[in-house]
Amino acid sequence: MAIPLASNQNVGMNYDDADEGDDQAEVNLRLFPPLLLLSATTSCWHCKAAFTAVALGAHAIEDDGEAMGEVTETDDMFIIRELDVMPEALLAELTARNPSYRLQHSNTVGGSYYANTCPECDRLTGDFFLHAQPGGAFFPTSTAEAAAIKVERLRFSEPVIVGGSWGYGTGDFILAHAAVVDAP
């Protein structure tokens, strides 16, 4: 089944066959349902405007065909970062929560990925800041910060293949305190 991919890059769907050059996004991750859409309010580092940042989580993933977690585990999650290719239907879910979420060049990463972009000044707030810095929108350091994250179960019933990286370590804390709801 051909799933249209939302990307300005020409990529194949075979995630085992992705190393075809530096300019090509690598489709390396398989995310098992339920996919989790995280949203939280953040402040632009540049203009201080508040906006909704989005992120993607999954209880179980494969990276280059290797299982990273148990599919049955639901009290912890991987958080997917630096997404550079994904199905259009998934991108639509993310942009429905943050309309300025889009492909942006990042000097930190040395490439482009779908980044939470400030709707006021157009600068990206990087995934490193949001996910890997304590106190970032998706790196809560208190139960109150974790409870401020909204987690929605998306209605994808099949595994979704994307390109990106992932983090692990904050998911169980987020899920223990955030409100987890089914997406509309």
Instruction: Note whether 115 binds Zn ion by CB under 5 A.
Output: no
Assigned token pair, 79: 């958080």
Per-residue binder mask for Zn ion (CB under 5 A), 15-54, x = binder: -----------------------------x-xx-x-----
Kindly state the smallest distance separating residue 46's Cβ from Zn ion, in Å: 5
Kindly state the smallest distance separating residue 144's Cβ from Zn ion, in Å: 24
How far is the C-alpha of 94 from the C-alpha of 89, rounded, in Å?
A: 9
**49 or 179, CB closer to Zn ion?**
49
Q: Pick from 60, 55, 56, 54: which is nearest to 74 by CA?
A: 60
CA 52 to chain centre: 13
**24 or 52, CB closer to Zn ion?**
52
Pick from 121, 176, 179, 181: which binds Zn ion (CB under 5 A)? 121
E strand or H helix at 95, and its extent? helix 88-97
How far is the C-alpha of 83 from the C-alpha of 102, rounded, in Å?
A: 10
Q: In the window 53-112, what residues touch Zn ion (CB under 5 A)?
A: none
| CA torsion, ordered 13, 19, 24, 26, to nearest 10 deg | 50
Identify the burial level of 24 via C-beta atoms within 10 angstroms of its C-beta, where 0-12 means exposed, 13-18 middle and 19 or more buried: middle
Instruction: Note whether 118 binds Zn ion by CB under 5 A.
Output: yes
Instruction: Note whether 120 binds Zn ion by CB under 5 A.
Output: yes
Kindly state the smallest distance separating residue 104's Cβ from Zn ion, in Å: 13
**97 or 153, CB closer to Zn ion?**
97
Judged by the rule CB under 5 A, the positions of this chain that interact with Zn ion are: 44, 46-47, 49, 118, 120-121
